[in-house]
Structure 1
Amino acid sequence: MPPPIRRTPITHSIWRVHVGVLHSRPMELPPPSPTFLAAALAAALFLVAVLRGRPARKYDLPPGPRPWPVIGNLDLIGPLPHHSARDLSARHGPLVSLRLGSFHAVVASSPDMARFFLRTRDLAFVDRPRTAAGRKYIVDGAGSPFTPEEFRWLIDEHFFLNGVLNIGDVIPWLSCLDPQGYVKRMKRSAKMFDRFLEHVLDEHNERRRREGEEFVARDMVDVLLELADDPNLEVPIHRDGVKGFILDLIGGGTDTSAVTVEWAMSELLRNPEVLAKATEELDRVIGRDRLVAEEDIPNLPYMEAVVKETMRLHPVAPLLTPRLCREDVSVGGYDVPAGTRVLINIWAIGRDPAVWEAPMAFRPERFVGSGVDVKGQDLELLPFGSGRRMCPGIGLGLKMVHMILANLLHAFAWRLPDGVAAEDLSMEETFGLTVPRRVPLEAVAEPKLPAHLYALS
């Protein structure tokens, strides 16, 4: 029997806003004149006549819970929305219709439904809904760079705020009140990010000015700044566009890879027999006299299986990035109206017993020789999405995860701290743009290779 769906405190925060409005001091207004009342009545009758004369399209929506006025089904969305969506799917089926405040949404939780939205009709779902987080980032500002600790906090804040459910995004008339305080935090972190990005661009421009005609582009930022200065470019790139590119690189190249590696290490420490197999393969293929190189990765099939199994159980974006329906579409006998927000619950697909044998077990062996990959062709495993709008950084992301994880396992012997049993290791999540561990992983690492291999230069 699926777990009960809990109603969350989000409802109460919304009603508090209403209560505050209802208990405010009434204004002293003069009584309306008969002329005003007659005009208002005539306008109301005219509006009713117009609306009744227009045939409204009646949609046959997918099954789903009955929405409340104003908030819709927001009371059913808990602190881990992918868990809530999985529970709703267990009751209503692989395609669930929801009302999120003022907007209609559907959640797909099966490979067949994912194939329809991401591959079969992906052109109808290539748009993204606008959110407060997307509007607030990249603003004007300048200043100094940050300490490593401040930058780490800024990255974490960025990923949290881009993934959080902001009430103003689903109930627009509440956006000016910012009842959760998220928009205020978005503005603050946006200004901080912009200070950092301005510093990066200023450094590159200073080198260009200093070297003059001898300047040679050394990295992508140099190339983008050169393109931004090209007046003949068919599609111009402005300074804010360059900052947007850098922000995407930072987001795609830091937190997503780090979260995946941390989940992989967590699962390996919980499953010592899998850890032993992975380290045995590394010792056999690489030896003890060098570190793992990029060209070694194809020769490490069990390590590749460990990465796939980690991405199955712990996708960093469990609902992918929301999509927006551009036109009325029919799927499985149901209607998906234009303007609907579409979520693909790849976390639920990765744990579906109808798709995977023993889905909750960490078994990399299921991928050894299976041919199932993570590149969007196999709809049961979609950590990077699929179709036209799948993650463009898949190549870099896979290489980073493989290289970091393989070298961590090869260079160190790992164990849990004294007094911590494998079965007691917490695997709780926290939700944002990515889904990291709720509590950072603590482990003991002991070097096992020659000392000179650990030198930084």
Structure 2
Amino acid sequence: MDLFNTLLCLCITWVIIQAFRIVRSSTATPKKLPPGPKPFPIIGNLLDMGDKPHKSLAMLAQIYGPIMSLKLGQVTTIIISSAQMAKEVLRTHDQQLSSRTIPDALRAYKHDELGMAWMPVSTQWRKLRKICNGQLFSNSALNDNQDVRRMKLQELLAETHQSSLTGEAVDIGRAAVKTTLNLLSNTVFSLDLANSDSDMAGEFKEIAGDIMREVGKPNLADYFPLLKKIDPQGARRRLTVHFSKLIDIFDRLISRRLQLRKVSGYHVTKNDMLDTLLNISDDNSTELDKTTIESLFVDLFVAGTETTATTVEWAMAELLQNPEALSKAKEELKQVIEKGKPIEESDIARLPYLQAIVKETFRLHPAIPFLLPRKADADVEINGYVIPEGAQLLVNAWAIGRDPSLWENASSFMPERFLGSDIDVKGQNFELVPFGGGRRICPGYPLAMRMLHLMLGSLIHNFDWKLEDGVKIEDVSMENKISLTSQIAHPLRAIPIPV
């Protein structure tokens, strides 16, 4: 019965919209949309997406060009597949194209209104961005709490060393999630969310993965707006459950800190991100309340944990398949870091090859292949075509990173291409935009970049790595699975050997 009702709704929706189009087209001047494949009735170009849309749309872009239009159900969608067109969207017309197309599932817990990554550009959004850029992720703030990240890295190395003594393979992705989670939770809360007495790392990875999957997988309500009211696939209901688990965790931590501050009588007790936010809230609760803080933490922990850990896993997989690059990285670390000494955040600037490895991993395996969707607030002309008001825009960072007109041997892992290059990931070089660009660039990228280099550099510097018995280098899968993020299809397992 549910299937029948869904199909009936689709048919009725299609008839109403077609009738409206006929009336509108008789009076309106047609707009010159970018080229694209001809849509089917009702479903539009949904079948053109395939199960790996970043690859399918990159292939279509070779036919229709770097700015392409599709009809996904009833949603006009513009696909951007070149650095030049990305610059038009992320810089030139950033002001008119900064709104978000909201996946219906994200309306759970009003996260579309409260989550900074998704809320409209508004006074509240500007206040949150100012807090992030000026207080949470500024260089001075990150320098102040680097001791906690140093401690968490030592724990990663200790656990990896224990595996090396027993010859046990390390699940790189799982180890990266646990370390990233604890790096973040100590920076924010001054405590471990993943400790040895619980399986919080595994539970958190599952929750974060569930959220990414619900947001990233096809949902009829996103393509046929009239279906939003009935949530036909239950995505919003499931995401409500996942959000509630995280918010319960954050609510307990915030309440505990508030009680501690009340009892101790001190304005600052931990000097971490939570105290910074509570101090701001104390000064002006209308600017930043508890609910907003919790939503900020949902975005920070879900996106930060998943994307950072995934990038570490991809980098290690590429290095195992490219032993020459791994050898160069180890040699550089050996020359810069004194034997037996840990890598410090201040060392990163003196490790250009390690930086190049991270950039090359971003190029080939951007954590969010399409970035987060944007929406046109008005008609915008780009390259002679009109992006109509209300259209969704997807920047295919995966396709741009593999564009043969930009990159020599575009499919090959070659960190050397970034040596002596000024290309960075701060949103100014549009051939490499893993964190987006313009006013919507990810505000947490300064912390993510520190954590990535520290984790990856520490694993390379302190251990040699070999695959499990019977597994050959060519057997390491470089296929990905797509939700909102691009994850390695089969978990990478490798045996550490102390150096």
Confirm or deny a common fold (TM above 0.5).
yes
After TM superposition, list the pairs within 5 Å mapping 1:25-424 onto structure 2. 51=23, 55-137=27-109, 147-148=199-200, 149-213=202-266, 216=269, 218-230=271-283, 232=284, 236-424=287-475
User: Which SS does the other structure have where 2:71 is aligned?
Assistant: strand
Deviation at 1:166, TM superposition (A): 1.9
User: Which SS does the other structure have where 1:105 is aligned?
Assistant: strand
Would the aligned equivalents of 1:129 and 1:324 in 2 still touch at CA under 8 Å?
yes
Instruction: Provide Cα deviations, 1:425-454, integer angstroms capped at 9, x if missing partner.
Output: 111111122211111111111122xxxxxx
Deviation at 1:138, TM superposition (A): 6.3
Residue 7 of structure 2 corresponds to which residue in structure 1?
Answer: 18
Q: Which runs of 5+ in 2 are unaligned?
A: 12-18, 112-192
Work out the CA distance in 1 between the residues paired with 2:498 and 2:104.
Answer: 46
Deviation at 1:276, TM superposition (A): 0.9
Would the aligned equivalents of 1:316 and 1:434 in 2 still touch at CA under 8 Å?
yes
Would the aligned equivalents of 1:217 and 1:223 in 2 still touch at CA under 8 Å?
no
Would the aligned equivalents of 1:138 and 1:191 in 2 still touch at CA under 8 Å?
no
Flag the 1:215–1:111 CA change in 2: closer, same or farther, 3 A. closer
Instruction: Provide Cα deviations, 1:142-191, integer angstroms capped at 9, x if missing partner.
Output: xxx98413222112112222222322112123334544442332122122
Amino acid at match of 2:430: L
Deviation at 1:52, TM superposition (A): 7.4
Work out the CA distance in 2 between the residues paired with 1:14 and 1:66.
Answer: 27
Instruction: Provide Cα deviations, 1:53-83, integer angstroms capped at 9, x if missing partner.
Output: 9721311111111112222111211222211
Would the aligned equivalents of 1:138 and 1:190 in 2 still touch at CA under 8 Å?
no
Flag the 1:214–1:236 CA change in 2: closer, same or farther, 3 A. closer
Would the aligned equivalents of 1:413 and 1:447 in 2 still touch at CA under 8 Å?
yes
Q: Which runs of 5+ in 1 are unaligned?
A: 1-12, 23-46, 140-144, 449-457
Instruction: Provide Cα deviations, 1:16-57, integer angstroms capped at 9, x if missing partner.
Output: 9427999xxxxxxxxxxxxxxxxxxxxxxxx99x94797213
Flag the 1:228–1:85 CA change in 2: closer, same or farther, 3 A. same
User: Which SS does the other structure have where 1:414 is aligned?
Assistant: strand
Work out the CA distance in 2 between the residues paired with 1:289 and 1:363.
Answer: 29
Amino acid at match of 1:110: S
Would the aligned equivalents of 1:71 and 1:171 in 2 still touch at CA under 8 Å?
no
- State the TM-score, normalized to the length of structure 1: 0.83
Flag the 1:285–1:226 CA change in 2: closer, same or farther, 3 A. closer
Amino acid at match of 2:494: A
Residue 30 of structure 1 corresponds to which residue in structure 2?
Answer: none
Work out the CA distance in 1 between the residues paired with 2:451 and 2:95.
Answer: 30
Amino acid at match of 1:262: E
RCO comparison, higher one (Cα < 8 Å, 6+): 2
Deviates more, 1:407-416 or 1:215-224: 215-224
Instruction: Provide Cα deviations, 1:226-270, integer angstroms capped at 9, x if missing partner.
Output: 43344x56x522221010121222134311111111000000001
Amino acid at match of 2:98: V
User: Which structure is larger by alpha-carbon Rg, 1 or 2?
Assistant: 1
RMSD: 2.6
Flag the 1:305–1:202 CA change in 2: closer, same or farther, 3 A. same
Amino acid at match of 2:65: G
Work out the CA distance in 2 between the residues paired with 1:288 and 1:440.
Answer: 31
Flag the 1:212–1:314 CA change in 2: closer, same or farther, 3 A. same
Deviates more, 1:402-411 or 1:165-174: 165-174
Would the aligned equivalents of 1:303 and 1:402 in 2 still touch at CA under 8 Å?
yes
Amino acid at match of 1:18: L
User: Which SS does the other structure have where 1:342 is aligned?
Assistant: strand
Deviation at 1:277, TM superposition (A): 0.9
User: Which SS does the other structure have where 1:55 is aligned?
Assistant: coil
- State the TM-score, normalized to the length of structure 2: 0.76
Given candidates 474, 488, 493, the residue that maps to 1:442 is 493
Flag the 1:271–1:21 CA change in 2: closer, same or farther, 3 A. closer
Instruction: Provide Cα deviations, 1:175-226, integer angstroms capped at 9, x if missing partner.
Output: 3454444233212212212211211222112212221357545322223234
Work out the CA distance in 1 between the residues paired with 2:70 and 2:333.
Answer: 47
User: Which SS does the other structure have where 2:487 is aligned?
Assistant: coil
